[in-house]
Structure 1
Amino acid sequence: MRPALALLLLASLACADDTAWPTVTNEAKPWTRWWWLGSGVDAKNLTSELESFSKAGLGGVEICPIYGAKGYEDRDLPFLSDKWTAAYAHTAKEAARLGMGVDLTTGTGWPFGGPWVEEKDASASLENIKAKAEGGKPFSLALPKGKVEALSAWPDQGEPVDLTSQVKDGKLEWTPPAGNWRIHGLVTKHAIQKVKRAAPGGAGWVLDPFSPAAIESYLKPFSAALDRPDVPEPRAHFHDSFEYYGAEWTDDLLAQFEKLRGYDLRSQLPAFHGEGDAETIARVRADYRETLSDLHREYLAKWHDWAKERGSLTRNQAHGSPGNLLDHYAVADIPETEIFRHVDEAQIPMLQFASSAAHVTGKKLVSAETFTWLGEHFQVTPAQLKEAADFVWLGGVNHIFFHGIPYSPEDAPWPGWLFYASTHMGPNGGLWKDLPAFTAYMTRVQSVLQSGKPDAEVLLYFPIHDIWSDGSEGLPLFTMHNQDKWLQPTEFYQAAMDLWKAGIPCDFVSDRMLDDIKVEDAQLISGKARYRELLIPPCRHLPDSTAKRIEALQQQGAIIKLLSRQSFGGSSRAPGMPAGARLPSIPRADPGDAKSAAVKDGTACEEALASLGIRFIRRTLDDGHAYFLVNSSGKPVDAKIKLARSHQSAVLLDPMTGKSGVAETKDGIRLVLALGESRIIRTYSNKQAEGPRWTDPEPAGTPIALTGMWKVNFLDGGPALPAAFETSALGSWTNQAGDAYQNFSGTALYRLEFDLQEKTPALLDLGEVDHTAKVRINGKDAGTCWAPPHRLDVRDLLVTGKNVLEVEVTNLAANRIADLDRRKVPWKAFHEINFVNIDYKNFDASGWKPLPSGLLGPVTLVPVK
């Protein structure tokens, strides 16, 4: 190496800053679902929107074509037509120019389906036939429309009689022999659902989600469209949540059932229909459910393999399916979860199904559809968005998608083209002006959460067979909306929550995933993750193959514990055969105490953060660990904490401001967090971190109220700019006399001159802000306040004598929307569902009271040491 080059390398190493944030990629930035209404897009507007997305800090888009806007039908582009594909290709190329990515829904609206789906490939319903007949008497039964898959008569004693040959013109006509007979049958019907929210050219039957053959045919038009010259492949293809309503059959079910379960379902029709002993009924119904789970997994695998062959990834929302969610999420390259309406810690295990599938199978990214119906249209606050983003990250997500932004051409009158479900993250939703501050926060967090590998202590077995074996009729759907019925009452869920609250990170594992687990140095290895132990919650139906696998892992040195004092029942496939005892040598623990079982014998470690009400997620890095944490305690925190993962040094990073510094670690790491505030701790295992020191501002006196005459000027927004005013008492600008103030949505500039007798190191506390604020002091940028606490470090900006404070405050769009409805302006002009409120009723904001808007204060300077 030449001397000059060696000196340059040494100098760069000497100047290394261990407090620096990770390198930003487009995947670290938030992405958005981008609805193409009617696919009424054009090159100019596509480029304009993508450029504005890039400036706002978005890393990519997911194109989802849906129904169109009224009055613009002449702009509609039929889905997958030459013009549509050209528009998509233009989008992909422009996105690449801007350093952005593009994902594509494999269809329009949801779920998969379209005009080329023939009836035989469409989703199918199942109707159960149950009746009684008396020997010697003619019996007649009109059957439902559809195909008779099975029809037989069962005597009190003896073998059943096949009646399918007795059906003519949709009616069973039969005179039974002597005795009492029970009639059992299955009738199916294809083509039971149309695509929801379909775009022009995308309307048609919904696909059969249990038919691998059907999806192969379904994908051919996509291949043809994307194989056109100069059409780039998307980064990933997307499958929305399982909403194949009423789908309970596929034509190949009987053959697949016998192949996978080892017996003919037709031989157990009475049990399938709820007749006989409870154990057999439960077993047969569970086998039916498991078979459809296996077939849907194969369906997803066909889609995934098709995309992989074309050089694309897949993103899948598995929730809503009737199968093992872990296995269905795991098929995709990017498992995707979602949140809907509200944020509740009780939902964390539901999010962990997607993140566990990624962690256990070695996938880097876990995505989430985020902010869906977080509140009523135009009323979702930035503080709610931050809370929701923090929440999904704590559930293991590291790749957020906004829900969302509709494409809207420049010539569409305000508020432009809109999607019927909130939250409106686009230019006309009221959150756009200061969105870069929020996307910067999200990018910093995700750059850390996409680094390294997952770091959980425990693998928790998910006993899906218990849920399948509840004995109830029909095909249960495991959705986000009914988790209080199928998930939260289970002992598995209670164990997951016990671990979560105790600060013991865990991932879930399925029967199928256990097959790929390896044991090394007494740890369970899967994908890129290592676990200290496997916990088995109480379960009544443990498959024999799973029991054997668990025992094999233990023999290889894995630490395995049962949260049960009882023997586990094995589950053989032939109905009516007794279940054998399994796992006799595995240590047992009290079923209601997952925490104690996990830490027993020093196996798992609790994080002390949890005892303070601080929630976290942890990643392991090559030379240490990274923690993302949120103060969920309900109060401010100022405490020294010791981490469960040993380290030589640590760095604190504030994702809201970008501030970072080397932390003092003597006697623990000091955390000073306001309510809801987040922080990142990055530790180094074998070195002292280099870089600037972290300091928490220490109050040094009574806060100084900034009083005087505020000058308020309205900069941009509508429906019209209100007149400027002056005030010595801060409050909502809607309190000013006149409709112009109450109806206004946009940005106002607050300006105040104040004197300081001496240069005082201080924090600027804006008090209450509705809803975002961009701050300047003496003409210099002081930062943007996106969510509470609205507090900025301004110690380097203040001067002795006169100071000028300028605060540009932007409110939500609600007040302007309410004005449109009061004036009966016809802005809601969209096909199909048009525009509804959060309860899916006609949207009408005319009765809304004005939302508080502006700088409400009090504004103070908080002196610091």
Structure 2
Amino acid sequence: MSERVMRRTAAARLIPCAWLAAATLTGGGAILSAAYAQGAGPSTATGASGAAAPARTAMATAAATLAGEPVLSNRIADVAARLAAPPDDARAMVRWWWFGPAVSKPQLEREMLAMKAGGFGGFEIQPVYPMELDDPARGIRNVPYLSPDFLDAVTFVNNKAHEQNLRVDMTLASGWPYGGPNVPVTEAAGRIRVATAVVPPGADSYAMPSVMSGERLIASFIGDGNDKQYDATRLRLLDGAENPANGGAQPPAQGAVPATGGAVGPGIARVPARATIAASTQNRVVVFYIASRTGQQVKRAALGAEGFVLDHLSRSAIDRHLNTVAEPLLKAFGDKPPYAVFSDSLEVYGTDWTDDFIAEFKRRRGYDIKPHLPAIYSGQGEDAPALRRDWALTQTELVNERYLTPVNDWAAARNTRFRSQTYGEPAVSMSSNRLVHLPEGEGPQFRTFSFTRLATSAGHLYNRPVISAETWTWLNSPAFSATPLDMKAEADRMLLQGVNQFVGHGWPYTPPGTQEPGYAFYAAAVFNDHQPWWSVMPDVNAYLHRTSYLLRQGRPANEVAVFLPNDDVYAALTPGKVSLSAEMHKHVTPRLIEQVLDAGHNLDYVDAESILALGLRHPVLVMPHVTRLAPEVLAKLADYVRGGGKIIAVGGTPSLAPGYVDARRVSAQVAAASRALFTGPVVQLVADDAAVGAAVAKALPGDFRVASNASDVGFIRRKLADGDIYFIANTSNREVRTTATLRAPRSNAVWWNPHDGKATAVAVKPSLELRLAPYESRVLVLTDKPQAAAPAPRLAAPVVLADLGRDWRFAIAGEKPAAMPELRSWTDDAATRFYSGEGVYTRDVNLDAAGIQGARVTLDFGQGTPLESTPKVPSGMRAMLDSPVREAAVVYVNGQRAGSVWRPPYQLDVTPLLKAGANRIEVRVANLALNGMAGQERPDYRLLSARYGQRFVPQDTHLIEPRPSGMLGPVRLLSEKTL
């Protein structure tokens, strides 16, 4: 769970095949050509130090042997046959937080059964920080992570989950990132620490830096200046290594020798307290580069899981973690391994080094990094960008080979899968996702650069048909504020990016006897049965289940690729912040993404690695502000253009070598290749992002073009052998009435209702009439052969059959019904202001036979109120619409369940349940658990923090206040006569 993602979402609230054959050959291996890795030595032509072949073998074995792989269809009839009841593997999951861990078997089983009853298909176990001190009277006992009691609970849960056909995933750690008490300081996340010593005029010695446990002095430089100001390009390496500033090998500067010294152990050199040096008349500074540690501790760790975050660039650190943490966890699963093991987002803050980085850098890049440390860590000098590119690329290669590949191979060898949020720090790339069996995204930023689209794009490119996303992180903060509509609104933005497996964030385990509404993770929404609106969770999950299933079928059909200029981003990265995903938005801007989407296309990302490995299959490629590119990538682009591909270059064309070695010669090659490539008729050069939409439309007319509200309506298409599936969503809080034009309509078109699977015929020629309620979504299916579907009914304009806005009877649990002459929020009454739960509204209505005969009768609850802004929500997302039913309802007509109301349009077809004469209507409305919390004192975690340290701070608790609740009106029965 990325806290950076959570902060970013404040600005992204909801406002008005046959798979590529080449992908299966490269799925697990490191792919990096000698040209892309320009500057590498001969041993690194593939960019993988011997790891590629075993990884490919493991991936192929896993694909062939793992049980429970989803069955995917490539024909419309097969998909339609499963639409009413899709396979369980497409059901949403939840992240199950075990606090402490302090769990009991009876409660674990009760919560699993509740998950299943609510429509969830499984869970991911995530042990985190204690929520309460041990309390024998209540059965609360915090047990250490990986203790026998903890592992016994894992075994119990796994066995019970298999009995219930629930999927079980296991996080291979507690909290995030990977680490814990088994990580020695020598394998903790690494960084370079820069220290200085001032040498005044006339001084003949200087103080050496203090080098502590886990640290090593790797280089010292001297030059004119002081500790506040010096020219890094003119520093000289004190050990006499090559100095690129003046082009010659240098003797030890000024005859520097240590004042004291000596060995302290095998392979460990003691740093002397002072070093002597020949005196000078100038102010001088000595700059030290020390291989150090970030000191980062595992975030939100369970009891006994505290410790350093491990070095993700170190194979020994990863192997230690697999041996000491992962193996005991897997043994607890016995002969039924988890469906997948999981790694959360890479948030190894500040890391940029590992112990053998100097040797690995020279082996891969072909030159010694040590003389260039001042340029890399200061950014000074014209060579600094190229050097930083090589330095950051080396880190990507190391995390790929030493973290992602070994963990994925380890999982495959144990008959499970590796599910990974592969973004963040260290600087993994989009193509790094090829190394994991199950890529996962995070973040609903549909119309900006998106971490989620990194995962879905890699899935589309590298044949990973199931792509999950951590969903609803910080949804409508604070905890217990989220509504079912909030869930759908964010989920739709995930679906539009290509997600087809939801992992809800999340489900907090709550011990029996805890004051309602129970536990909440410090930064998350809650989706368990402590929510009053749990009654509609099966309906919400039915929608998520069906849409996830549909977006797995066939193959992805996005037609525009946006190139991720990794080399340019590498070159701009700075020490302690080595992340492609965090900085890519400067190239892939919101304006650029909006231009592509509004031109009637959806998109995938590609990068140099994917182009070299797989070529390009998208008809159009957009290259945003690319300056650094390897000649071999340009050669692939030339092949692409000769094969009919079209390129749009934004803001200029490539002109520089990616890296440092032989940069002048390679840059000349790049510039020449660019001139040859970007002068053809199928290549467009546009000045800025604002011109991209017109250029895309010129290159390829939109796949799905709406006549208006282009920024509100999103779509994604899946292509099957005999048809196309379009998921279409209104992402705004207002109704959209427009038309849509499909570039390639087929002879038959049908709406598939994503909520119940019913099919209705529709016309798409010459255009599709599109009327979408706020946050409404639909599925359009196009085929060349007729489909089984009911004809769209021809109905007269609706008339009001009965106004039900008054004279209800209302009751809450345990109380007798009372008259409610006017509909109003029950929080208006002091007695129910802090009530969280269900309120039951009943009313009788007499109907004439003439009014209902030959008509469709709808119970209409109103449209809701669009919101213009949410100044009180500092982070997270929410649907910008206040519902007329706060927050969900189940409706009964004459004692029979008519359905649920939790999303626009707030209507139910009640035709078959009505009769002439008296009819009883009952509406059971559930509000938020937040209201009950508003009437309670906040928990005091002072003693908990005194015992375990402050491991969490509940977010946004100052915003806890009662929200309007109940059926607010208007309510009407509408009659539409059949024509």
Q: Same fold (TM over 0.5)?
A: yes
- Which residue in the other structure is 2:46 paired with? none
- Which residue in the other structure is 1:861 paired with? 973
Higher mean Cα deviation, 37-46 or 453-462? 37-46
Q: Which amino acid is the alignment partner of residue 818 of structure 2?
A: F
Matching residue within 598, 603, 609 for 1:506: 603
Q: Are 1:66 and 2:153 an aligned pair?
A: no
- Which residue in the other structure is 1:543 paired with? 630
Contact in 1 for aligned 2:701/2:743 (Cα 8 Å) = no
- Which residue in the other structure is 1:583 paired with? 674
* Structure 2 counterparts to residues 688-707 of structure 1, below 5 A: 688-695=786-793, 699-702=797-800, 704-707=802-805
Contact in 1 for aligned 2:535/2:890 (Cα 8 Å) = no
Q: Which amino acid is the alignment partner of residue 568 of structure 2?
A: D
Matching residue within 585, 593, 599 for 1:496: 593
Percent sequence identity over aligned pairs: 28
Task: Give the secondary structure class of the aligned counterpart of 2:968.
Answer: strand
Q: Relative contact order, CA 8 A, sep 6+: which one is greater?
A: 2
Matching residue within 325, 328, 332 for 2:436: 332
Structure 2: segments with no counterpart, 5+ residues: 1-74, 223-234, 237-244, 262-270, 678-682, 863-883
- Which residue in the other structure is 2:660 paired with? 573
Task: Return the alpha-carbon distance in structure 1 between the equivalents of residues 336 and 578 of structure 2.
Answer: 39
- Which residue in the other structure is 1:528 paired with? none
After superposition, the Cα gap between the structure-2 partners of 1:672 and 1:552, relative to the gap in structure 1 and judged at 3 Å, is closer
Q: Are 1:77 and 2:180 an aligned pair?
A: no
Q: Which amino acid is the alignment partner of residue 87 of structure 2?
A: T
Task: Return the alpha-carbon distance in structure 2 between the equivalents of residues 22 and 543 of structure 1.
Answer: 50
Deviation at 1:132, TM superposition (A): 6.2
Please list the CA deviations of residues 80-106 of structure 1 after superposition, one character each: whole Å capped at 9, or x if unmatched: 333322321222222222121111111
> Number of residues paired by the alignment?
818
Deviation at 1:695, TM superposition (A): 3.8
- Which residue in the other structure is 2:310 paired with? 207
Matching residue within 111, 114, 130 for 2:180: 114
Contact in 1 for aligned 2:97/2:128 (Cα 8 Å) = yes
Structure 1: segments with no counterpart, 5+ residues: 1-12, 519-523, 526-530, 716-720
Q: Are 1:596 and 2:687 an aligned pair?
A: no
* Structure 2 counterparts to residues 247-646 of structure 1, below 5 A: 247-274=351-378, 277-278=381-382, 280-298=383-401, 299-339=403-443, 345-347=446-448, 349-374=450-475, 375-470=477-572, 472-477=574-579, 486-490=583-587, 494-518=591-615, 524-525=616-617, 531-555=618-642, 558-564=645-651, 566=653, 568-574=655-661, 577=664, 579-580=667-668, 581=671, 582-586=673-677, 587-592=683-688, 593-601=691-699, 603=700, 605-609=702-706, 611-613=708-710, 614-632=713-731, 635-646=734-745
Please list the CA deviations of residues 574-618 of structure 1 after superposition, one character each: whole Å capped at 9, or x if unmatched: 1763522133332342143333333435x4534213744321111
After superposition, the Cα gap between the structure-2 partners of 1:826 and 1:216, relative to the gap in structure 1 and judged at 3 Å, is closer
Task: Give the secondary structure class of the aligned counterpart of 1:295.
Answer: helix
Q: Which amino acid is the alignment partner of residue 241 of structure 1?
A: S
Matching residue within 775, 779, 789 for 1:680: 779
Deviation at 1:552, TM superposition (A): 4.2
Q: Are 1:838 and 2:935 an aligned pair?
A: no
- Which residue in the other structure is 2:103 paired with? 41
Higher mean Cα deviation, 32-41 or 567-576? 567-576
Contact in 1 for aligned 2:806/2:823 (Cα 8 Å) = no
Contact in 2 for aligned 1:426/1:432 (Cα 8 Å) = yes
Task: Return the alpha-carbon distance in structure 1 between the equivalents of residues 962 and 92 of structure 2.
Answer: 31
Q: Are 1:809 and 2:900 an aligned pair?
A: no
- Which residue in the other structure is 2:847 paired with? 756
Task: Return the alpha-carbon distance in structure 1 between the equivalents of residues 634 and 434 of structure 2.
Answer: 22
Matching residue within 880, 896, 899 for 1:780: 896
TM-score, length-scaled by structure 1: 0.88
Task: Return the alpha-carbon distance in structure 2 between the equivalents of residues 828 and 650 of structure 1.
Answer: 63
Matching residue within 714, 731, 736 for 2:824: 731
Higher mean Cα deviation, 112-121 or 653-662? 653-662
Q: Which amino acid is the alignment partner of residue 752 of structure 1?
A: R
Task: Give the secondary structure class of the aligned counterpart of 1:372.
Answer: coil
Contact in 2 for aligned 1:366/1:396 (Cα 8 Å) = yes
- Which residue in the other structure is 1:656 paired with? 755
Deviation at 1:430, TM superposition (A): 3.5
Task: Return the alpha-carbon distance in structure 2 between the equivalents of residues 246 and 574 of structure 1.
Answer: 27
Contact in 2 for aligned 1:771/1:811 (Cα 8 Å) = yes
- Which residue in the other structure is 1:89 paired with? 155
Deviation at 1:492, TM superposition (A): 6.0
Q: Which amino acid is the alignment partner of residue 383 of structure 1?
A: L
* Structure 2 counterparts to residues 220-259 of structure 1, below 5 A: 220-221=323-324, 222-227=326-331, 230-259=334-363
Contact in 1 for aligned 2:599/2:694 (Cα 8 Å) = no
Matching residue within 104, 125, 134 for 2:191: 125
Q: Which amino acid is the alignment partner of residue 955 of structure 2?
A: I
After superposition, the Cα gap between the structure-2 partners of 1:367 and 1:456, relative to the gap in structure 1 and judged at 3 Å, is same
Deviation at 1:425, TM superposition (A): 0.9
Task: Give the secondary structure class of the aligned counterpart of 1:713.
Answer: strand
Task: Return the alpha-carbon distance in structure 1 between the equivalents of residues 202 and 701 of structure 2.
Answer: 70
Deviation at 1:856, TM superposition (A): 0.9
Task: Give the secondary structure class of the aligned counterpart of 1:446.
Answer: helix
Deviation at 1:506, TM superposition (A): 1.5
Q: Which amino acid is the alignment partner of residue 171 of structure 1?
A: A
Q: Which amino acid is the alignment partner of residue 851 of structure 1?
A: R
Task: Return the alpha-carbon distance in structure 2 between the equivalents of residues 134 and 159 of structure 1.
Answer: 26
- Which residue in the other structure is 1:218 paired with? 321
Contact in 1 for aligned 2:172/2:329 (Cα 8 Å) = no
Q: Which amino acid is the alignment partner of residue 270 of structure 1?
A: P
Contact in 1 for aligned 2:84/2:756 (Cα 8 Å) = no
Please list the CA deviations of residues 374-395 of structure 1 after superposition, one character each: whole Å capped at 9, or x if unmatched: 2212222222222111111112
Task: Return the alpha-carbon distance in structure 1 between the equivalents of residues 845 and 943 of structure 2.
Answer: 46
Task: Give the secondary structure class of the aligned counterpart of 1:542.
Answer: coil
Please list the CA deviations of residues 247-279 of structure 1 after superposition, one character each: whole Å capped at 9, or x if unmatched: 22110111111112221111213322437533x
Deviation at 1:804, TM superposition (A): 0.9
Task: Give the secondary structure class of the aligned counterpart of 1:90.
Answer: helix
Q: Which amino acid is the alignment partner of residue 594 of structure 2?
A: M
- Which residue in the other structure is 2:39 paired with? none
Higher mean Cα deviation, 687-696 or 783-792? 687-696
Contact in 1 for aligned 2:599/2:702 (Cα 8 Å) = no
Task: Return the alpha-carbon distance in structure 1 between the equivalents of residues 329 and 80 of structure 2.
Answer: 48
Contact in 2 for aligned 1:85/1:226 (Cα 8 Å) = no
Contact in 1 for aligned 2:522/2:955 (Cα 8 Å) = no
Please list the CA deviations of residues 741-792 of structure 1 after superposition, one character each: whole Å capped at 9, or x if unmatched: 1121101110001111234232111231111100011112110012233211
Contact in 2 for aligned 1:89/1:232 (Cα 8 Å) = no
Task: Return the alpha-carbon distance in structure 2 between the equivalents of residues 444 and 856 of structure 1.
Answer: 31
Task: Give the secondary structure class of the aligned counterpart of 2:306.
Answer: coil
Higher mean Cα deviation, 580-589 or 774-783? 580-589
Deviation at 1:244, TM superposition (A): 1.4
Contact in 1 for aligned 2:567/2:629 (Cα 8 Å) = yes
Task: Return the alpha-carbon distance in structure 1 between the equivalents of residues 944 and 528 of structure 2.
Answer: 18
After superposition, the Cα gap between the structure-2 partners of 1:498 and 1:704, relative to the gap in structure 1 and judged at 3 Å, is same
Task: Give the secondary structure class of the aligned counterpart of 2:685.
Answer: coil
Contact in 1 for aligned 2:440/2:452 (Cα 8 Å) = no
After superposition, the Cα gap between the structure-2 partners of 1:20 and 1:95, relative to the gap in structure 1 and judged at 3 Å, is closer
- Which residue in the other structure is 1:712 paired with? 810
Higher mean Cα deviation, 766-775 or 705-714? 705-714
Task: Return the alpha-carbon distance in structure 1 between the equivalents of residues 278 and 663 of structure 2.
Answer: 28
Task: Return the alpha-carbon distance in structure 1 between the equivalents of residues 604 and 92 of structure 2.
Answer: 24
Deviation at 1:48, TM superposition (A): 1.5
Q: Which amino acid is the alignment partner of residue 293 of structure 1?
A: T
